[in-house]
Amino acid sequence: MEFISPRIESSFTFWLKSLWDYAIEEDRIVGLEGYIPELQAVFVLESLWSGKDEGKLGLWIRDEGKIPLVLDYMFCLSKKLGFKTLRILVEERLYHNYFSKYPHEVLSKELVLMKRLTK
């Protein structure tokens, strides 16, 4: 599966960090992880340290063309978990192709030096 978000760290690093337990986790985290079989997508959805009403999304997907369907699903799920905002960190090409169509605010732009490996 292709790692979609957050593109500031490796897929393995994000997944590993999502498994860590913290002493204050009960008060810190609202979260859920799962697999959406019909969309072939895996996600980690959790609140930010700063508040339970802001979430961040870790997302892996097999077919990039299904990103809009996955986003609709994730926005609905985020709302049910009580999130008012959802942070998604993606590469610029994906942002322009899929994410810019949704109501949003760009908080910042980052430059991450990396090279896309061909399949």
User: Which distant-in-sequence residues (6+ apart) come within 8 Å of 32 by Cβ?
Assistant: 43, 44, 45, 46, 77, 81
pLDDT bin (cut points 50, 70, 90) of residue 6 is low
Q: Where are the beta strands (DSSP E) in the chain?
A: 2-5, 31-36, 41-48, 51-61, 85-87
pLDDT for position 79: 92
pLDDT bin (cut points 50, 70, 90) of residue 76 is very high
Q: Is the pTM of this model over 0.75?
A: no
Calpha distance 39→110 (Å, rounded): 29
